[in-house]
Copies of this chain bind each other. A is one copy, B any other.
Amino acid sequence: MLRPMEWKSGKLRLLDQTRLPEAEVYLELEDYREVASAIREMRVRGAPAIGLAAAYGLVLGAQKLQTPNRQEFLSELAQVKEELSATRPTAVNLFWALERLWQVAEGEPDPSSLKARLLEEARCLEVEEVAAEQRLGEYGAQLIPDGATVLTHCHTGSLATGGYGTALGIIRVAHERGKRVKVIADETRPRLQGARLTAWELKRLGIPVMVIVDGAAGSFLSRGLIDCVVVGADRVAANGDTANKIGTYSLAVLAMENGVPFYVAAPWSSIDLSLPSGSEIPVEERPEDEITHIRGQRLLPQGVGVANPAFDITPHQYITAIITERGVVREPYVTKLKELISG
């Protein structure tokens, strides 16, 4: 079985997503700064996976701390937390996971237990996340008709999550339940997660997949070749507005225009009820070379500027349903999401 993220012998073992599909290279990280770099450089990416990697990063940071003094320990740990928080701004899972571990640290009166308690909580988070994805997958699979062709964007499979998948988890459950599902995967420029990672993972799972350029999705929708669109989420605001990989908003508009359901798969760890709407979600601007270069080769003429927002915001009115591990939510999201708080 694929273990893209694993805590092993006091280290975080990570499958380097930037090297796929050519090479399966595992990183063994012992220092929280290495985890921060791996998140920043997208060696680990996908909202739930970022959250878990950050949690293990905090564990690594804690393990290096020497002080027996609880207050000093917490103050130094706060520094580590801050550095890990500063890696990427959009996926709320990062802040959510760090905050959960932080609460454990603050709530633990015995300094000698702190390191063990943090590791325990990170492991717990991972187990919970996988279980949540499987439940989410079960809920979502009920919405996928037998014989459906599903369009997806970016990559939301085992590499990007707790280990099962969110949008791809739904497709995976549908497939495992015997539904004949085909996937059309946007290649997802600039980093080609659809072409590289979604195609790679679906092929491993034995689910038929075909890759198209992002600009072709509209044509496939308008020709009636797509039965539903399923995407992941980096952050869902209280009103249902959803931040996800750049290009998602376009798919939502095009799906609605063509009467095709548009589903967002979001584990509870991706939902941020503290933000009233999507306009408050910070959108990361990624480095220019993601667009200007590919594999070290320059594509654009010298001296031409680029803009590279990594995410866009899909307003809730374009979203047919948000699928969580706590159930399937539809409009009005602003009340229906709140009803799920109790779990």
Contact = CB atoms under 8 A, between A and B. Distances in A.
Nearest to A188: B215
Contact of A209 (B196, B199, B304): B304
Given A210-B305, A219-B312, A199 B300 contact: yes
B195 A300 contact: yes
Contacts of A211: 291, 300, 304-307
Interface of A: 21-22, 153, 184, 186-190, 192, 195-196, 199-200, 203, 209-220, 222, 245-247, 249-250, 253-254, 257, 291, 294-295, 297-301, 303-309, 312-313
Nearest to A312: B219
A222 B203 contact: no
Contacts of A300: 21, 195-196, 199, 211
Nearest to A211: B306
A21 B297 CA distance: 12
A187 B301 CA distance: 12
Contacts of A214: 189, 213-215, 247
A21 to B, nearest CB: 4
Nearest to A154: B215
Given A187-B291, A196-B299, A299-B196, A218 B250 contact: yes
Complex A-B, nearest 7 residue pairs according to Cβ-Cβ distance, in ascending order: A215-B247, A218-B250, A219-B312, A21-B301, A189-B213, A199-B304, A214-B215
Given A21-B300, A299-B195, A301-B203, A212 B249 contact: no
**Which one of A253, A257, A304 has the greatest number of beta carbons of chain B within 10 Å?**
A304
A184 B304 CA distance: 11
Contacts of A196: 299-301
A222 B189 contact: no
Nearest to A220: B307
A24 to B, nearest CB: 12
**Which one of A187, A220, A254, A294 has the greatest number of beta carbons of chain B within 10 Å?**
A187
Contact of A219 (B192, B295, B298, B309): B309
Contacts of A217: 250
Given A306-B211, A307-B210, A312 B218 contact: yes
